[in-house]
Structure 1
Amino acid sequence: MKNSCLIILAFVGTLVSCKKSANTNTSPQYKSLTEAVYASGNIYPKNEYKLTANADGFLIKQTAFEGDAVGKNQLLFQLESASQEARLEASSNILRQSEANFSDNSPILDELEAQLRNARTKLANDSINFKRYKELYDRNATTRIEYERAELAYQTSKNDVSARRKAWLRTKNQLYVDLQNSKSNFKVNAREEDNYRIKSFEAGKLYEIYKKQGELVRRGEAVALVGDANEVYAQLAIDESDFVKVQIGQTVLVKIDVYKDKIFKAKVTKLYPKLNKADQTFRVDAEFVEEKPNAYYGMTIEANIVVSENPRVLTIPKNYLVGSDSVWIEENGDKKKIKITKGVENLDMVEVKAGLTEKSVLMLGN
């Protein structure tokens, strides 16, 4: 990746070429030298997320399409499940019946209340009858058997009223519990029904839809891709040998194929410490600082990350290097190979820290 001839530092004052110099001999010159790290990558929207299904079902309705702007919590897809619809309908019917059973006009409670009223009426009559027989018995005007029969009828009626009142309270409490359980069950099924409605989390643009209407969608399966169309960033891949030079805040010059010769400025915002073993690169994210490209998902880009800028350094063309640290020079008419101390470099030029002067005459190697 870093050996590519494509570099865009010409736009900041350093013209780079992959061609050799026409002259075979040259001398070192003081120039401004910018060192940059080459990177390639893609443009992605910020806050990107995938919409996934929370239940199994067939995609029966779609309210938005690729390229559409969507709002927050907007319904985008509707799934259908016959079993879930049946459960929801059953829980709804049970809830309506429970509400009727616990209402003021509840037929169950009305029947128990009528029985309780009849028992209280009988108790009142038996109480009067018992008092009358007690007075007669106290005056020896009736037999003990008649008195005890009246007393037994009174106690039986009294116990019957108590039992029917407890039955009414017990039934009312049970109907209340049944109502609460029915409400809970309906809410659970209603929430489960929401799992069949796929909504957006945040506002953005619908970039891709993975399913077609009529297709079966499994729980956890991705249905669509959404991202922020107003905010994009560059996701770059840096060769592992150059990664140590990159720091947060460094300037990034970005070239996008669809924009031809236009250069966008960005800055490094995040470094990822994990090496991608497949291509031996590290990931670096950069945000645009001035004009931003349109939010076309995955646009291919190439970039240079400016790691140092040197206004005046002694430089030589890179093609005069022999190996990594030697050059051929002309000395007293002879060709001599010497070692130099290099500084920063780009694809075209190399800084010479020691070993040469402006008067040195460089020769191309054989």
Structure 2
Amino acid sequence: MIKNKPRTRTVMIILILALLAGTATWRIYNAQQQAALSIQPLAVTTAEARTTQKPNTLKLTGTVEGMTSAIISSRFAGKIDQILVEDGQAVQKGATLLTLDTIEMANAVRIAQNNVRQTEANLNTAQADYQRYNTLYAKNAVTKQQLESAEARLITSRTEVDNAYANLNNSQKQIEDGSILSPVTGVIANKAATIGQVVSPGAALLSVEQIDQVYVVVNVEQKDIALAKMGAAVTVNVDAYPDQTFTGTIAVINPVAGNESRMFRVKIKVDNANQLLKPGMFAQTTLTAGEPVTTLAIPRSAILTQKGLHYVYVATNHQAKKTLVETGDLIDNLMEVKAGLRPGMSVVIDNLDKIKDGDALLIEGGISQ
């Protein structure tokens, strides 16, 4: 029995070594399998960077303004008696917007009328006196000085009558102005008046916006002002109607640049028969500046943005290479690329959230622009 112990120990060592070798082999195999899985190519679609024609346009953001914005106010102090309109209401030129209490003004008219009658009576008396003095002077019954005094009273009476009529006209005009009328056809806006309010001359009560036609006002930089020409066609878009494009023409070009911005104010006239464009809206305008230019572009879906920078994954030898690019304008569904790519390079357009730099790619298909 004692002789068999070395042999048993040897067998035990062999078994232990075999177990260790098996474990190591299994670990190596498992690592190889994991590595094989980790380099499994990712199926993607690519597109080539190609040249395309980009419209030569100038894009500017502007603000919609009414063709005419009439600020309504009173010519004199008074209390509002009636308000006949509300914000958004369409009105015609000459329509009554509001009225003022005219009792005091009516009294002023009566006083002015009485003054007219009194001065006319004085004038009649002065005329009769002058004629009488003139007759007596011809008979040497009065002095020349008395005749001249009678003539002076006649002239004064005529002046007083003229002043009385002027005062009466002013009083009657105030009565008329007690009904405040719309100076243009348009839409009521910014109504700040209330019944019973005592208003002062010139205080804004509301406005009437003429919006059958509107202006879209933009500011153009000095370097681009030569592109803005009177009568040039401009397309206009607003966020409120994303599927609709309005057409206008350049109607006003301010010849003087702003003191602070050094930009030129340009007005684009747009027909607005349906009154869809409202004063105060922001608008995006596009002005054709010349012939189309050739530029490099890729599908916009290939662009990946990180921390304000734009990247694409270039497919090179079935491997993804993360590449920084400088983008330009959007051309339909394409994005202009100013730097970072060359014509013919293939960029990945899908599964961008699953790709890392250096990943293996299985290119299942490509698209043409």
Identity of aligned residues (%): 14
Whether contact under 8 Å (2:312, 2:322) holds in the other structure is yes
Whether contact under 8 Å (1:206, 1:226) holds in the other structure is yes
- Aligned pair in 2 of structure 1 residues 61, 24: CA closer, same or farther (>3 Å)? same
Confirm whether residue 254 of structure 1 aligns to residue 240 of structure 2. no
Task: Report the Cα offset of residue 349 of structure 1.
Answer: 0.2
Which residue of the other structure, out of 58, 61, 69, is the alignment partner of 2:91? 69
Task: Report the Cα offset of residue 176 of structure 1.
Answer: 1.9
Whether contact under 8 Å (2:69, 2:209) holds in the other structure is yes
> Separation in 2 of the partners of 1:192 and 1:305?
49
> Separation in 2 of the partners of 1:352 and 1:171?
92
Confirm whether residue 99 of structure 1 aligns to residue 120 of structure 2. yes
Aligned partner letter, 1:50: I
Secondary structure of the residue aligned to 2:243 is: coil
- Aligned pair in 2 of structure 1 residues 164, 352: CA closer, same or farther (>3 Å)? closer
Task: Give the equivalent residue in structure 2 for 1:346.
Answer: 330
Task: Report the Cα offset of residue 57 of structure 1.
Answer: 0.9
Secondary structure of the residue aligned to 1:209 is: coil
Task: Give the equivalent residue in structure 2 for 1:4.
Answer: none
Secondary structure of the residue aligned to 1:220 is: coil
The residue correspondences of 1:159-198 to structure 2 (distance < 5 A) are 160=142, 165-191=147-173, 196-198=178-180
> Separation in 1 of the partners of 2:319 and 2:84?
80
The superposition leaves residues 12-59 of structure 1 with CA deviations (integer Å, 9 ceiling, x where unpaired) of: xxxxxxxxxx94754213444447676666644312221122221111
> Separation in 1 of the partners of 2:319 and 2:277?
59
Question: Gapped runs of 5+ residues in structure 1?
Answer: 1-21, 125-157
> Separation in 1 of the partners of 2:251 and 2:309?
32
Task: Report the Cα offset of residue 252 of structure 1.
Answer: 2.0
Secondary structure of the residue aligned to 1:316 is: strand
Secondary structure of the residue aligned to 1:202 is: coil
Which residue of the other structure, out of 264, 273, 285, is the alignment partner of 2:246? 264
The worse-fitting range, judged by mean Cα deviation, of 52-61 and 23-32 is: 23-32
| TM-score, length of structure 1 as denominator length | 0.59
Aligned partner letter, 1:345: D
> Separation in 2 of the partners of 1:116 and 1:267?
74
Secondary structure of the residue aligned to 1:346 is: strand
Confirm whether residue 53 of structure 1 aligns to residue 78 of structure 2. no
Whether contact under 8 Å (1:254, 1:266) holds in the other structure is no
Whether contact under 8 Å (1:43, 1:301) holds in the other structure is yes
Aligned partner letter, 1:294: Q
The residue correspondences of 1:168-317 to structure 2 (distance < 5 A) are 168-191=150-173, 196-235=178-217, 247-248=228-229, 249=232, 251-255=234-238, 257=240, 259=241, 261-267=243-249, 269=251, 274=258, 285-288=267-270, 293-294=274-275, 297-298=278-279, 300=281, 302-303=283-284, 305=286, 310=292, 313-317=295-299
Aligned partner letter, 2:343: T
The superposition leaves residues 240-263 of structure 1 with CA deviations (integer Å, 9 ceiling, x where unpaired) of: 8x9889745353242452x56333
Task: Give the equivalent residue in structure 2 for 1:27.
Answer: 48
Secondary structure of the residue aligned to 2:193 is: coil
Task: Give the equivalent residue in structure 2 for 1:79.
Answer: 100
Task: Report the Cα offset of residue 345 of structure 1.
Answer: 1.9
Whether contact under 8 Å (1:246, 1:305) holds in the other structure is no
Aligned partner letter, 1:315: A
- Aligned pair in 2 of structure 1 residues 335, 216: CA closer, same or farther (>3 Å)? same
Whether contact under 8 Å (2:130, 2:151) holds in the other structure is no
Task: Report the Cα offset of residue 237 of structure 1.
Answer: 8.2
> Separation in 2 of the partners of 1:205 and 1:62?
15
| TM-score, length of structure 2 as denominator length | 0.58
Structural RMSD (CA): 4.9
- Aligned pair in 2 of structure 1 residues 59, 99: CA closer, same or farther (>3 Å)? same
